[in-house]
Structure 1
Amino acid sequence: MTKPQRVTTTISDGLAYVRLARPEQHNAIDFDMLHAVVKAARSLRKQPGVRAVIVHGEGPSFCSGLDFKSVLARPMRGLLHYAQLWYCWRNNFQDWSMGWRDVPAPVIAAIHGNCFGGGIQLALGADIRIATPDARLSLMEAKWGLIPDMGGVALLRELVPIDVAKELVLSGRVFSGAEAMELKLVTHLADDPLAAAEALAAELATRSPDALAAGKFLLQRAWSKSESGALAQERRWQRRLMGFANNRIAIQNNQGGKAAAGKAYQARRIQG
């Protein structure tokens, strides 16, 4: 019997849509969805024509978190994943969110409905988050006697002070998209986050894809370093841009007047 398709990836004019496709379960995470999301991120890393990625959920919710009933129904597979807690490197559950940081293009999460547990950790893995004001978010693992373990801590520390992170993680409470905006967990609010994500992606597509990739990696790798370390990252990534084709095209588009304006960029060469 053919397995149900948990995630679909489509690419149109350089914009990739990654859609969670388990709407009847509010896109709750089972093993098939976990691996499909990880596979999608790895695949998009290798596609230089992709200019932006939008991650969104089909149906009433973005993602309602781990489907414990489904996971517990497959004890042997669950045991194999449990063994990954002893890995000295990122495991599959952590790749669920962290893998999107390796994609050399802006990743935008369009959040609506429920965004719980692994769902919010997936959203945190995106570069930009757009949510409806009435979206419901929660780092809900405490209610199951667990801690966030799908990359949540590594991502959360970049966005909020530690006391805010502790309150959200220890309480597991549900909060709205509007409060998430106040807490700086989401970037923008919109009644139609998918449309807003598309508009933003179209704007980003007017920039050099190499500059977008380098800017993303620069910020991720310099953010927590010392001053000298951050400056070293600046030098490193600028070296990979200056004088190359897309840098020259950007200069032409901005200085060459109407005759040169709008010249198409070449495929991205920076892969991280």
Structure 2
Amino acid sequence: MSHLVTLNIEAGVATVTFNRPDKLNALSYESFVQLARIIKQLKKEKSLRLVIIDANGSDFCTGLDVKNISRSPTKMLKLLFKWLPGNANLAQRVTIGWQEIKAPVICKIHGRCFGGGMQIALGADFRLASRNAQFAIMESRWGLTPDMAGSVMLQGLMPYDQALKLTHMAEPISADTAQAVNLVTQVCDDLDHECEQLKAALLVQSPDALAANKRTYQKRMLAYRRQLLAAETFNQIRILRGKNVKRAISNRLKGETKPFDNSANW
């Protein structure tokens, strides 16, 4: 299996890099597996001081590789499967897992950050965006609902109406707009320089204090974690069993506007 996501650790700083530039870093099933393994490894690194999530190529991540996942129904089942409703499944672990790492996590975003890529970025503690970055939660375009633990983070970051609008509309927004609604921490003219500045500032602080700060602020951010994780998966499975997801996909691919079935009782 090729390294779709790479890990480098040097002097306590881990750099996790999306490494599928030829596919605009779209997430295949194998990408999820590799990313989950890396997060699991980082949680065990006692000398870890900082994590940086980066990407090779023109875009940070353009979302799910639909062709890769759709080729095998078992891949979708493996992404969604969980032993208990409140547990995180594979799709959710690659987002919420960053919050289980004691060290600060910085996400460097350039180009497009769509769908699953956006949700992964939400799991970081800080999101630094280049001025050319674009953001979107794309699932609604295909008749789906976000199911990668993004809702856990959004409810702590954004006002209700802004989070709902972003999810409903499934349209890209600019880096400046993303900062205005608190989706990103900082918009950068020089992304590498600003990341180095933040990195240097964090590394001179006590790792014990940083870990304690992170845990304290998580009390509110993750207060309803298990309920939201369960709701995401339940709703996605219910959608996948219905008629409207097929209609949404057909409408999107064929440019049609055929009406949806309004008989579903939500």
TM-based fold match above 0.5: yes
Q: Distance in 2 between matches of 1:28 and 1:78?
A: 15
Letter in 2 for 1:79: L
Summarize the alignment of residues 149-188 of structure 1 with structure 2, pairs less than 5 Å apart. Answer: 149-188=147-186
What is the RMSD of the two structures over their aligned residues, measured on CA atoms? 1.6
Determine if contact 1:133/1:191 at 8 Å carries over to the other structure. Answer: yes
Q: Distance in 1 between matches of 2:84 and 2:48?
A: 35
Q: Distance in 2 between matches of 1:167 and 1:85?
A: 32
| CA-CA distance at 1:221 after TM superposition | 1.5
Distance change (3 Å), C-alpha of 1:125 and 1:82: closer
Aligned residue for 1:158, secondary structure, equals helix
What's the CA shift string for 1:95-116, capped at 9, x where partnerless?
Answer: 0100000000000000001100
Q: How many residues align?
A: 223
Q: Distance in 1 between matches of 2:181 and 2:35?
A: 27
Aligned residue for 1:70, secondary structure, equals helix
Q: Give the aligned partner of residue 214 of structure 2.
A: 216
Matched, 1:40 2:41: no
| CA-CA distance at 1:83 after TM superposition | 4.0
Q: Distance in 2 between matches of 1:88 and 1:159?
A: 21
Determine if contact 1:15/1:201 at 8 Å carries over to the other structure. Answer: no
Determine if contact 1:134/1:178 at 8 Å carries over to the other structure. Answer: no
Aligned residue for 2:195, secondary structure, equals helix
Distance change (3 Å), C-alpha of 1:222 and 1:136: closer
Q: Distance in 2 between matches of 1:158 and 1:195?
A: 28
Determine if contact 2:105/2:126 at 8 Å carries over to the other structure. Answer: yes
| CA-CA distance at 1:166 after TM superposition | 1.0
What's the CA shift string for 1:34-56, capped at 9, x where partnerless?
Answer: 11111111111111211111001
Moved more, 41-50 or 72-81: 72-81
Q: Give the aligned partner of residue 251 of structure 2.
A: none
Distance change (3 Å), C-alpha of 1:36 and 1:74: same
Distance change (3 Å), C-alpha of 1:72 and 1:133: same
Determine if contact 1:22/1:28 at 8 Å carries over to the other structure. Answer: yes
Letter in 1 for 2:193: A
Aligned residue for 1:121, secondary structure, equals helix
Q: Distance in 1 between matches of 2:179 and 2:194?
A: 15
- TM-score, normalising length from structure 2? 0.80
Matched, 1:201 2:219: no
Aligned residue for 1:157, secondary structure, equals helix
Q: Distance in 2 between matches of 1:110 and 1:95?
A: 19
Distance change (3 Å), C-alpha of 1:223 and 1:96: closer
Matched, 1:102 2:85: no
Summarize the alignment of residues 81-120 of structure 1 with structure 2, pairs less than 5 Å apart. Answer: 81-84=79-82, 87-120=85-118
- TM-score, normalising length from structure 1? 0.78
Q: Give the aligned partner of residue 127 of structure 2.
A: 129
Q: Distance in 2 between matches of 1:179 and 1:203?
A: 26
Q: Distance in 2 between matches of 1:184 and 1:82?
A: 29
